[in-house]
Amino acid sequence: MRWYVGVTIGFTIFALAATVGTGGEPVLGLDLQGGISVVLAPVGDFKPGSLDVARNIIADRVNGLGVAEPEISTQGDNIVVDLPGVKDRDKARRLVGRTAELRFRPVLADLPAEGAVASTTTTTGVTTTGAPGAAAPATTAPTTTTTLSADAATVKAAVASCDPGQVLALLTSGTDVPTTDLAEDKRKACVVLPMLEGSSRLYLGPTKFTGKGVDDAKSRFAQGEGYTVDMSLTDAGQQAFNELAGESFPKPPPQNQVAIVLDGVIQSNPAFRDSSYPDNNVQISGGSGGFTPEDASDLATVISYGALPVQLEELTVQNVSPTLGSDQLAAGIAAGVIGLLLVALYMLVYYRLLGAVVIAGLIVSAALIYALISFLGDEIGLTLTLAGVTGLIVSVGITVDSYVVYFERLKDEIRTGRTVRASVDRGFTRSFRTIVAADLVSLIGALALYVLAIGSVRGFAFFLGVSTILDLVIAYFFMHPLVSLMARRPHLVRMRGVGIAAGLDAPGVTA
């Protein structure tokens, strides 16, 4: 019994000290620290899986805002974006609501990474072949470069080919090294955009056609080629694709390439191997290195869902000020503290010394919950919302109920003529079945809410369920062992007015 109590207290102290020592604390949700919540709804027909893709794209955008622990989720056919602690709310709202569009742009020049020194460019070969039955295959450009550089003459010619009012100054005086920052992805402008992987950039021409010209795209394994992406074009898409191929094919690399751009990032840059493609299908392969299954699947998903982008409109926008958030947090904490104090006072008055066991158990539970929430917040982004605080407060009643069930069972055992020490183990064995049954009902309810509900209700269910599980652990490894140790001390049992015997309403019982 001493081991149970000692290990429980020791582990609690260690977990709390580790949390405080590392600066850990619960991650507060939108309603407790302020922020913005936007509900987006799709307009018109859309592919079922496109909502998940849109959610991932929005998540990438939000991460660029530096928002701590944003929550982007799909609820039914809606996408809900919660951005706690966001500072520039107007910018966040514009960024979240902007519809992604797949764009096909001609490549005008290779550019080095920001701050790189110009040197000779070396590329790796990657090929694309036409789909089965297609008259001509195509070639994809490399996704990486072994050295980062730019041909100054090519860059100057590329700049000269664009509307001067649409491009940034790419060259610094006295050098031929492009130094511009990434440009905004404007559809009809020449822009500088980054590759999906690595730090290389490409200088791109205006958009020639969008994802509306793509019918579908799928990844598959082709014998002798490895994993490929089959892209199916619409009639209008094929016409635009052939026009771009006719313009790009005769040119030297990298101007014979087409950049596939989604949300301002170059997903791939295939190179044409012919000036015309009579077939509506184009098969993209990874060349000698080949695509990995994941790369092929990701590119197919981008092309497929970018082809029919989800048009989103704002249904609701909720702004929670930091002041309101802090007020709600303070109110929740105050409600919890007042509730705990009232419960503690009642337990002390009714159960006397045993009431101290209840208080000690609540302190242990609170410390472990704090450490657990802080840990999960850091590891998986778990956020504590006002609904979660409510779940924790409700769980106090469940925890206290376990003590009441045990103490009342002790009374029944003592009334049969047994001593306190003899009643402790027997009473716990029988009462623990009741405690497990009661907690199991709470767990089932919490699980049902978590699975079936949406939004803040799931937070309530999660924290209620965690607290209920912790109640069972504390009851077995702390409550019963501590009462058992106290029952072995006659002076604690017989202490006048406040001892265990007085708390169990059996003043004449022996230890």
**What angle in degrees, to the nearest 10, is found between the helix axes of 322-351 and 353-380?**
150
Three-state SS at 253: coil
pLDDT of res. 474: 94
Instruction: Decide: 150 and 177 in contact? Cβ < 8 Å.
Output: yes
pLDDT of res. 140: 44
Instruction: Decide: 101 and 210 in contact? Cβ < 8 Å.
Output: yes
Burial class for 14, CB neighbours closer than 10 Å (0-12, 13-18, 19+): exposed
Alpha-carbon span 490 to 511, nearest angstrom: 5
Alpha-carbon span 164 to 189, nearest angstrom: 10
Alpha-carbon span 442 to 437, nearest angstrom: 9
Burial class for 91, CB neighbours closer than 10 Å (0-12, 13-18, 19+): exposed
Q: Determine which helix (DSSP H) or strand (DSSP E) holds 289, and give its type and residue range.
A: none
Place of tokens 């917040």: 377
Place of tokens 């992805």: 185
The amino acid that residue 358 corresponds to is V
Alpha-carbon span 273 to 286, nearest angstrom: 15
Residues 6+ apart with CB under 8 A from 403: 347, 354, 357, 358, 361, 475, 479
Q: Determine which helix (DSSP H) or strand (DSSP E) holds 189, and give its type and residue range.
A: none
If you ran DSSP here, which 8-state letter would residue 291 be given?
B
Residue-by-residue pLDDT tens, the chain, 511 positions: 788 999 999 999 999 999 999 888 888 887 788 888 888 888 877 776 778 878 877 776 676 565 656 778 888 888 888 888 777 777 777 667 666 678 999 998 887 665 554 443 333 333 343 433 333 344 444 433 333 344 667 777 777 777 655 444 444 433 444 444 445 677 888 888 888 776 688 888 889 988 888 888 888 888 777 888 888 999 999 999 999 989 988 888 888 888 988 878 888 887 787 888 888 888 777 655 667 888 888 788 778 766 555 778 888 888 877 777 778 778 878 888 888 899 899 999 999 999 999 999 999 999 999 999 999 888 877 888 888 888 988 888 889 999 999 999 998 888 888 888 888 989 999 999 999 999 999 999 999 998 887 667 888 999 999 999 999 999 999 999 999 999 888 888 888 888 888 888 777 666 6
**DSSP per residue over 195-240, as a string?**
BSSSS-EEEE----EEGGGEEEEEEEEETTTEEEEEEEEPHHHHHH
Task: Read off the tokens for 280.
Answer: 């509506």
452 phi/psi in degrees, rounded to 5: -95, -30
Q: What is the pLDDT of residues 335-381, one digit of tens each?
A: 888 888 998 999 999 999 999 999 999 999 999 999 999 998 888 77
35-98+313-318 matches 2-25+321-503 in CATH topology = no
Alpha-carbon span 280 to 472, nearest angstrom: 63
**Domain 35-98+313-318 is found in CATH 3.20.130.10:** no
Helix, strand, coil in percent for the chain, rounding step 5: 50, 20, 30
List the one residue out of 232, 202, 200 whose CA is nearest residue 217. Answer: 232
Alpha-carbon span 33 to 383, nearest angstrom: 11
CA dist 327 to 29, 334, 375, Å? Answer: 13, 10, 25
If you ran DSSP here, which 8-state letter would residue 178 be given?
B
| CATH number at 2-25+321-503 | 1.20.1640.10
Alpha-carbon span 459 to 467, nearest angstrom: 12
Domain spans in the chain, listed from the N-terminal domain onward:
2-25+321-503, 35-98+313-318, 102-309
Residues 6+ apart with CB under 8 A from 226: 285, 286, 290, 291
| Peptide linkage before 254 cis (omega within 30 of 0) | yes
pLDDT of res. 496: 83
Burial class for 447, CB neighbours closer than 10 Å (0-12, 13-18, 19+): middle
Place of tokens 């989800």: 310
Alpha-carbon span 153 to 502, nearest angstrom: 96
Task: Read off the tokens for 145.
Answer: 């470069």
What is the DSSP pairing of strand 139-140 with strand 270-271?
Answer: antiparallel
Burial class for 418, CB neighbours closer than 10 Å (0-12, 13-18, 19+): middle
